[in-house]
Amino acid sequence: MNRLVVIGDPIEHSLSPIMQNAALRELGLDREFVFEKTRVKEEELKNFIKKVKQVKLVKPENIVGLNVTIPHKVAITKLLDELSEEAELIGAVNTIKKEGRKLIGFNTDGIGCINALKEKGFEIKNKKAVLLGAGGAARAIAFVLAQNGLRHLVIMNRTSEKAEELAKEVSTKTKARVTAANLANLSKALSDSDVLINATAVGMNRDETLVTAELMQPNLVVFDIVYSPLKTKLLKEAEKAGAKIIDGLEMLVQQGAVAFELFTGKKAPVEAMRNALRGKLKLQMEAI
Ligand code: ATR
């Protein structure tokens, strides 16, 4: 059996196994692959990766792919044999493929975001976007948006220096128009924007938002990458303003779909992945 494993700390909450095992079942690949989760603490990462590389060890010998989540996405880049062009540019990895003894790092977060927007009928070419956040997820999204023909990207973050650094780095590396602005200027930035993306943790399992309805106009598309709860406070505020909303489920599915294709070489059954997640998130909501 080929094992695929998502690693992180904490990892208990990860929905990747439910989504990926549903995809494997859908294509009849569940005899060939199984997707698991393993808690790997920060100080254990180096040793864990070393073991994955050693073919002879019994337990991890058949790990053929990994997904990587908080807090390892950046640290792991130094432990791999090769990085894809995208992972190199972004400076973070969320998917690893084992080829022979080599571990190759990819980043599917940014493309997951673009594909989620496309799936919902939103084309980013020549549009203006406001991105909230400057952490790992925001980095991936900022680079990929900048590479895909956005007219102007404005990055805002609680720690404004981090937004400034990221904006400078993305604009230098991609030549796209990327600027940073203070959160206090959100109202002005949103007045002529097409899309607002929340890539901060704000709203995750809490009824909090950085943006309220009076700052939004009905032409705005509001995309939250937080998926727990599915309808975050930000999205509720967006609905109040008459704006179009995209929830975090689609991004989770789309980044997972690209990872699935890297792991198996087969086209991902996205509808089966969506259904598995919807079922699980609905149960979680009912339990609250
Ligand atoms: P991830 O990999 O999910 O992006 P991260 O790298 O820890 O996680 O980044 C978390 C992001 O959420 C950051 O942009 C963080 O802002 P700071 O850079 O100022 O820390 C943002 N964030 C988390 N909690 C927040 C809060 N309560 N208010 C505003 N921003 C918050």
The three-class DSSP label of residue 97 is strand
Residue list, ligand 1 pocket, CB within 6 Å? 70, 133-138, 157-159, 162, 200-202
Which amino acid residue places its CA nearest to atom 27 of ligand 1? 202
Q: What are the pLDDT digits (tens) for 141-187?
A: 999 999 999 999 999 999 999 999 999 999 999 999 999 999 999 99
Bridge partner residues of 129 (DSSP): 153, 195
Which amino acid residue places its CA nearest to atom 26 of ligand 1? 202
CA 59–ligand 1 middle distance (angstroms): 35
Q: What are the pLDDT digits (tens) for 252-267?
A: 999 999 999 999 999 9
pLDDT of residue 58: 47
CA 133–ligand 1 middle distance (angstroms): 6
The three-class DSSP label of residue 211 is coil
Instruction: Please indicate whether residue 173 is annotated as part of the active site.
Output: no
Q: In degrees rounded to 5, what are phi and psi of residue 18?
A: -60, -45
Q: What are the pLDDT digits (tens) for 89-129?
A: 999 999 999 998 899 999 999 999 999 999 999 999 999 99
Mutation pick for ligand 1 pocket among 13, 158, 225, 255 (CB with most ligand atoms within 8 Å): 158
Mutation pick for ligand 1 pocket among 162, 200, 204, 224 (CB with most ligand atoms within 8 Å): 200
CA 182–ligand 1 middle distance (angstroms): 15
Options 46, 50, 56, 73, the catalytic residue: 73
CA 157–ligand 1 middle distance (angstroms): 8
Long-range Cβ pairs for the range 25-30 (8 Å, 24+): 25/272, 26/269, 26/272, 27/264, 27/266, 27/269, 29/264, 29/266
pTM for the whole structure: 0.91
